[in-house]
A and B are shown apart, each in its own frame.
Chain A
Amino acid sequence: MTDFVDSSPAAAHREPEPHDHVVPLPVYYAVFAALMVLTFVTVQAAHVDLGHPVVLGTKIPMNVIAALLIAFTKASLVVLFFMHVKYSARLIQLIVLGSLVWLALLLATLGDYASRGWLGNPGT
């Protein structure tokens, strides 16, 4: 269902919609299998040195980037399918997106730590 709080008179007389998009069971099993594979991949990837390229004077630990990318992929699968966000109302999708934007803003304060050495200030 896509309407949120539709209180128009027309809405009151409308036939009730089917409430749920019921996700077919094979989708759940496929998502579970993908999550298992990614868990295996993340454990294996931790044993391989993916290097530390230096960008703007900051060492980028590629292993952490890979681990976070895999975790983010897994989380997306859970959110989209187990939590039904793929089939949810737009407003709920907006809230999910909004929470990620706020989280990104919070994590962006890391830029402070990353950039402290750039000007060669004492005490960094």
Chain B
Amino acid sequence: MSAHATPGLQHHFRDHAQQKSAVGLGMWVFIAQEVMFFGGLFLTYAVYRSQYADVFALASHHLNTQLGAANTVVLILSSLTMALAVHAAALGKKQQTVLFLVLTLVLGGVFLGVKVVEYMEKFEHHLVPGPHFSGHALGLEGDRAGQAQIYFSLYFAMTGLHALHMIIGVPIILWIAWRAHAGEFRADYNSPVELVGLYWHFVDIIWIFLFPLLYLIS
């Protein structure tokens, strides 16, 4: 075993290939548990939607499908730019890596900005669960207003947890972009870019399910 240090290679790994396998495995195990984490919310959603199908449909009509669809396009586009960043990093193209990571951040910012607009609207119409919740904007009262409150609880829990994942992703992508800019990654060492890419794509997948389930109830 040679004792010379290889940039980016931790001492307990034999070579970059072995390190790459190990960190990739770790990231995928993390994503697998994230699937279960969100899975509980999807299960809860399925239970309540099957119980209160008509109120869920009514309440979902209050969501802005155009904004939701536009955000879906924005997020999928950010997944593409992330894939291109990972691609550039794998080829050791530093400037392209940084450029595509920054583009991903911008698109992520647009998504979160639209989310803020949507949340504000819910506050204005008293559709945020809690003491100020009112079924008035939906033309619902009594038990059915309560059922709508369950829908909006799930809406905020699921989109909120999703947005939280994006908010956590933003500084991580910034950090990785900074490291890429500093020239830390090369064709044989770019796992950090790849792993943050996996995280971002996972967040995209969650939204791919949230959009039809929350916005498109007919």
Contacts and interface: CB of A to CB of B under 8 A. Distances in A.
A43 B24 CA distance: 35
B94 interface: no
B208 A4 contact: no
Interface in A61-104: 61, 63, 67-68, 70-71, 74-75, 78-79, 81-83, 88-89, 91-92, 95-96, 98-100, 102-103
B15 A16 contact: yes
Interface in B28-56: 28-29, 31-32, 35-36, 39-40, 42-43, 46-47, 50-51, 53
B191 to A, nearest CB: 9
How extensive is the interface on chain A, given as a class?
A: 35 or more
B42 A107 contact: yes
A43 B65 contact: yes
Interface centre among B82, B90, B91, B218 (most CB of A within 10 A): B218
A61 B53 contact: yes
Contacts of B125: none
B213 A22 contact: no
Interface string A37-72: 001001100110100000000000101000110110
Contacts of A36: 73, 76
A9 B18 CA distance: 14
A5 B218 contact: no
Interface string A1-26: 10111110001100011011011010
A119 interface: no
Nearest to A104: B39
Given A36-B73, A95-B32, A96-B28, A82 B83 contact: yes
A121 to B, nearest CB: 16
Interface string B80-107: 1011100100110000000000000000
A114 B195 CA distance: 39
| Interface SS, B side | helix
Contacts of B16: 16, 19
Contact of A4 (B25, B50, B79, B211): B25
A10 B158 CA distance: 49
Contacts of A12: 1, 14
Interface centre among B21, B22, B39, B202 (most CB of A within 10 A): B21
B65 A92 contact: no
25 contacts: A19-B188, A22-B87, A22-B91, A25-B84, A35-B79, A36-B76, A42-B211, A42-B216, A43-B65, A46-B212, A67-B216, A70-B212, A71-B209, A75-B208, A78-B204, A78-B208, A82-B80, A82-B83, A83-B197, A83-B201, A95-B29, A103-B36, A107-B39, A109-B43, A113-B51
Interface of A: 1, 3-7, 11-12, 16-17, 19-20, 22-23, 25, 28-29, 31-32, 35-36, 39, 42-43, 46-47, 49, 61, 63, 67-68, 70-71, 74-75, 78-79, 81-83, 88-89, 91-92, 95-96, 98-100, 102-103, 106-107, 109-110, 113-114
